[in-house]
Structure 1
Amino acid sequence: MSAVEHLDELHGLPVFDFPAAGKDDALPETGAVAWRLSVDPDAEDEAAQEPYGKLWQRFLAAVDPAGVRALVVGEWGDVCAEDSSEAVGLLVGAREQLTGLLAVFLGDVVPEEAEISWIAQSDVTPVLTAYPRLQELGVRGGADLVLGPVRHEHLRTLAVESGGLPAGVVRAVAASDLPALEYLELWLGVPECGGNAAVADLAPLLAGERLPALRHLGLRNSALQDGIAGAVATAPVVARLASLDLSLGALGDEGAAALLAGQPLTHLSWLDLHHHFIGAATARQLRDALEPAGVEVDLDEPVREEEDEHGVLQRYTAVDE
């Protein structure tokens, strides 16, 4: 199963695709679903090649905007050539109509439509400022992604999926005051795809002072996974987590040994390390140290280093392009 798939649920609501132009599909009750708005720039029928702005206006006219609780933004056009600024602007511009909006996901695009690192994002900070009662924000794609430091009183979930997350975004999250945030997930990626954050950029997050409610931390899909594990091993925020996710990256024996030698992790309900380069002996040590205490340890998908064109062994993340 791919790590990058279309959402089937958001904010506990099933995702429903708002019908394409010319279709008269019956619509569910406005607040019963998470509405997915997506155009098909490659549609063979020219009439179906609807601009995103027109789709947006049809949607607002077809539903009760005040009853919309969750929105999933899929393809807004050619997502590799056109950034998400129009979709973000339309969303922000409708803030007086979408008064019940609690959850947004920007960029629900799968590899069959565009590789994750080709998705052109934009400045998504206005979504948080326009919707001060928003509880969930998800973003897929790191190219051109901008986020400024914010204070947001109600955001509970923040997830950014990327093949390469810009350091500026990581620093902005670390500098934000998010007193209600319970779930944080960042896919840091690789330098070749724009992932230029250093382990040191995570220090304010790992201190946890601005995240008093945090219960889940995911620092995933990183080429620096060993270094991240070393920092996590002594991070103050870990003591109050219920779950920790360091999966999809280049984690090996060095990072696993740091976790074993660091602060106790036996208070966790689960530790996700799947897609890893940890040897069998070290994997057993992890299980022996944590599973008797009731920690669910996911060590699925062990992978081996691969030789590059120069014969040098290399590790790779699960999601890059």
Structure 2
Amino acid sequence: MRTQDHHLEELYGLPAFTFPKPGETTRLPEPDAVAWRIGHPRWASPEVWEKDFGRFCAEVDIARVRALIVGIWGDPEDTDPSEVIEPLLAARDRLPALRSVFLGDITDQECHLSRIAQTDVTPLLAGFPALEEFGVRAGEGISMGETLRLEFPALRHDALRRLTVQSSGLPGDVLRGVGASELPALEHLELWLGGSDYGADCEVADLEAILSGARLPRLRHLALRNSEIQDEVAAAVASAPVVARLEVLDLSLGTLSDEGAAALLGGRPLTHLKKLDLHYNYLSEPLRQRIRQALEPAGVEVDLDQDDAEGDEERDICVGPVSY
């Protein structure tokens, strides 16, 4: 099993740049030349992030900022990012060029993915109607006995082109919320479903609206990754109407076996795809050969790298928690 062991290196096609801590004499780049990362060491109070953001707003011409990466906002196991979302929304009129936000750029060394507390993130989308990209890392935290989990109630957003949710335990209501959302510009959807041992309670039925594609007319890249129910997901995708309009289908990082891959091959044609990504899998060599023979002559790029997936009896998702 892997971990999230690195921060984002780029966002919105821009290199990531960490806003300096107080007292550091680092020369600042042009406001629109980088994706600005604001974060601080774990266990500092959440107010520290807001103070750093205040310095950022004072020292950088934020009217030109195009991409923003949010790092640690306190102790992410027991503090959700409300204290980040509120100052961002308060500054929205001063951020007219903002087009991309990633919430929770937190490595596993800082806090395991499964333990990153989250909240309802849709106010950020509602508050920034011109946003084109939004990403979030989400797990499950606990504060004062209250569970802090990602929420994504249905909404409409006319500009969003790319949505990424990375998790080792995704709630089913998040999938249903995304599926019920009106996202007419969305081209790239990436969802990490996770496993039940790490908090996931999603089922294949929760994907029904997404797989119909009815509210996603421009979707070209669909990634349903890091799932312990990957065979069931593959079987559902095999008959999904949305597949016909895809260029990239990504079912990587999960527990895919011959059963799921065979169902995928027996479903709707995949020869129109530019790429089928199944890397990190539990497929036998004969089944892998069947996939190559069916798709590669049609020009489909196929990634079947087994990577570090090992064993058949105890299959596990690729990215999840590890012991402290």
Q: Which one of 289, 304, 314 corresponds to residue 310 of structure 2? A: 304
Q: CA deviation at 1:2?
A: 5.1
Amino acid at match of 1:136: E
Specify the alignment match of 2:90 in structure 1.
93
What is the percentage of aligned positions where both structures have the same residue? 53
Q: Which one of 54, 66, 75 corresponds to residue 78 of structure 1? A: 75
Specify the alignment match of 2:286 in structure 1.
281
Matches within 5 A, 1:1-321: 4=4, 5-41=6-42, 51-143=48-140, 144-301=149-306, 303-305=309-311, 313-321=313-321
93 and 50 in structure 1: CA distance in 2 versus 1, 3 angstrom threshold: closer
Q: Pick which of 156-165 and 113-122 moved more.
A: 113-122
In the alignment, the residues of structure 1 paired with residue 290 and residue 279 of structure 2 have an alpha-carbon distance, to the nearest angstrom, of: 16
Specify the alignment match of 1:309 in structure 2.
none
Are the equivalent residues in 1 in contact too, given 2:43–2:74 (CA < 8 A)? no
Specify the alignment match of 2:143 in structure 1.
none
Q: CA deviation at 1:133?
A: 0.6
Q: CA deviation at 1:122?
A: 1.2
Secondary structure of the corresponding residue to residue 213 of structure 1: coil
Are the equivalent residues in 2 in contact too, given 1:41–1:49 (CA < 8 A)? no
Are the equivalent residues in 2 in contact too, given 1:145–1:166 (CA < 8 A)? yes
**Structure 1 gaps, min length 5:** 307-312
Q: CA deviation at 1:42?
A: 6.0
RMSD, aligned CA: 1.7
In the alignment, the residues of structure 2 paired with residue 42 and residue 188 of structure 1 have an alpha-carbon distance, to the nearest angstrom, of: 28
Secondary structure of the corresponding residue to residue 32 of structure 2: helix
In the alignment, the residues of structure 2 paired with residue 92 and residue 58 of structure 1 have an alpha-carbon distance, to the nearest angstrom, of: 16
Q: CA deviation at 1:22?
A: 1.2
In the alignment, the residues of structure 1 paired with residue 316 and residue 169 of structure 2 have an alpha-carbon distance, to the nearest angstrom, of: 13
Structure with bigger RCO (C-alpha 8 Å, 6+ apart)? 2
Q: CA deviation at 1:114?
A: 0.8
Are the equivalent residues in 2 in contact too, given 1:120–1:145 (CA < 8 A)? yes
TM-score (norm 2): 0.93
Equivalent pairs, count: 311
Amino acid at match of 1:191: S
Amino acid at match of 2:24: K
Q: Could you list the runs of 4 or more consecutive aligned residues of structure 1 that deviate by over 6 angstroms after TM superposition?
A: none
Q: CA deviation at 1:50?
A: 7.7
Q: Pick which of 238-247 and 4-13 moved more.
A: 4-13
Amino acid at match of 1:59: F
Amino acid at match of 1:164: G
Are the equivalent residues in 2 in contact too, given 1:163–1:187 (CA < 8 A)? yes
Secondary structure of the corresponding residue to residue 113 of structure 1: coil
Amino acid at match of 2:76: V
Q: CA deviation at 1:49?
A: 10
Are the equivalent residues in 1 in contact too, given 2:15–2:35 (CA < 8 A)? yes
